Every structure is written in C-alpha cells, then in structure tokens.
Amino acid sequence: MIDLAQLPIFPCNLAKEPLSVHGFKSARSGAKWKHWPLVGFPTGAKSGIDVLDIDPSGRDWYDANFDALPTTLAHETQRGLHLLFKHGAGLRCSSNKIADGVDVRAAGSYVIAWCLEGLPVTDEPIAPWPEWLVIALVGGCSLQVGDDLDEELRLQTQRVHPPGPTLNLSRRTQQILRKVEQAKLHTRNKTLYWAACRFGEIMTEGRLRPKVAFHLLKSAAQICGLTADDGERAVVATILSGLRRGAA
C-alpha cells in the first residue's frame, strides 16, 4: 500500500480534476486529505512512482502479457487497473503507444489514489519497470531526455556515498567513450552498458550532468554503428539502464 504520509498529494473533484490552483504541482507530503472528494498524486520524479494505466480496451494486452510483467502494487480503478512502478528516468507520458487502452503516467502527470475509495488492491512492493517495456516506451525520437532525467538521477546520487574523485575527469571520460566508439561488433551493447555504468558512478561525484552523459554515450553508440544496427530505442534503454545502475 502506498504511504500517504510520505507521498505528495493534492485534492481532486469527483471528475478527477485538480481542485488546487496549480494542479498536481501543488502536491505536498503530509496534507490532510480526509475531507477531499478524491486524492491525487503526481507521477514521475516528484513521487518516485509511474503508473501503467490499463483501460477496458487494454485488457487483452494485459492478459497476454501478464506473465511477463513483474509483480507490483496494483490498484483497481473505476474502469480498469493501475500498475505502479518505480519511476524510470527519462520516461514520459504516453497514450496507446504500447497498445490500445494502455497508457503511461510518468513525468508531468498525475493519477487518483483509488486505493482510498474501497476498490481492490494487490498489495505488493512497487517494482521497477521491466526492461522490455522500457524499450517499447522510449523507442525512436519520442524520448525527451530533459530535466526529469536530471532530477531522477540527482535524487539517486544523493542516496549513495560518493566514491573518491575521478582523477583527470576529461581524460577518463574520453577513454570510456573511445571504448564504445571502437567496440567490436558482438561487444558493442555490452560495452555501452559498461560505459553508462561508469558515467553513472562519475555522476555521484556531481561532476557530470545526466543529460550530458546521456548525449555523449548516445553519440558514441552512433559512431560505433550500434544505433544503426540495433535501433535507437534499444540504445536509449541500454544507456538509461546503465546510468541508473551506476548512480545507484
């Protein structure tokens, strides 16, 4: 069950519209919600939670992919189902991108806390997004790597004890990128993931911004031919996975 004492929340009316002046941007932890018509919470980095929103038309997709989805906290809604996942860096909202009736609520959106309305809950720990679904979500040019990625990885690096400072930062980053650029055919994806992990570690020192790391790695993947062969969405998923692993 989500902890409303820790979760940033805001009031909504019965039409699921925010009652606060600034909408979900007004969400705060510790708010008194007992007399609100409905309780909303922001998705994305602010709450640390993303939601896979499955409407009635998406039930066939859900049933077909049930075994491939991790066990996670799930709330039934008025019309369908919400699967809650730990926020994935760089993920944005989408509608029907995965399948008809399957939407993503991530950075820049919100959902209703239906668990407070007496609807059934599958009370499991919130799981990370499965990698295969991340690849489907961030495909092509639809991924926007912006402040949300910076904020997510900044929060992660605050939770770890930074290692000793990287000596000669410029030389070290160039060495890492060169390994990707010169990687052999059957080692390119593995090398890219390794490089992203190293960049994630450097980010814990506060000396490399996530957006900069992302674009440097993406450029190196293009130079070695990995993007042309595997596609941009696979490259993006590998980079984001490695950055998260290295930062955490």
In a structure prediction context, what are the per-residue pLDDT tens digits for the chain, which is 248 residues long? 677 778 999 999 999 999 988 889 999 999 999 999 999 999 998 899 999 999 999 999 999 888 888 899 999 999 999 999 999 877 788 898 888 999 999 988 999 999 999 999 999 999 998 877 776 676 433 334 445 555 655 555 555 555 556 667 778 888 999 999 999 988 999 999 999 999 988 888 877 788 888 888 988 999 999 999 988 888 888 898 888 888 87
pLDDT confidence of residue 10: 96
Q: Which residues contact 139 (CB under 8 A, 6 or more apart)?
A: 231, 232, 233, 236
pLDDT confidence of residue 92: 82
Measured CA to CA, the distance from residue 199 to residue 216 in angstroms comes to 10
pLDDT confidence of residue 110: 96
pLDDT confidence of residue 172: 85
Sign of CA dihedral 127, 144, 194, 135: positive
Sign of CA dihedral 240, 242, 245, 247: negative
pLDDT confidence of residue 141: 33
pLDDT confidence of residue 137: 72
Please state whether 160 falls in left (phi above 0), alpha (psi between -120 and 50) or beta. Answer: beta
Measured CA to CA, the distance from residue 121 to residue 74 in angstroms comes to 6
**HSE-up (13 A, CA, CB side) for residue 157:** 25
pLDDT confidence of residue 136: 67
Domain locations in the chain as residue ranges? 10-128, 142-247
pTM: 0.59
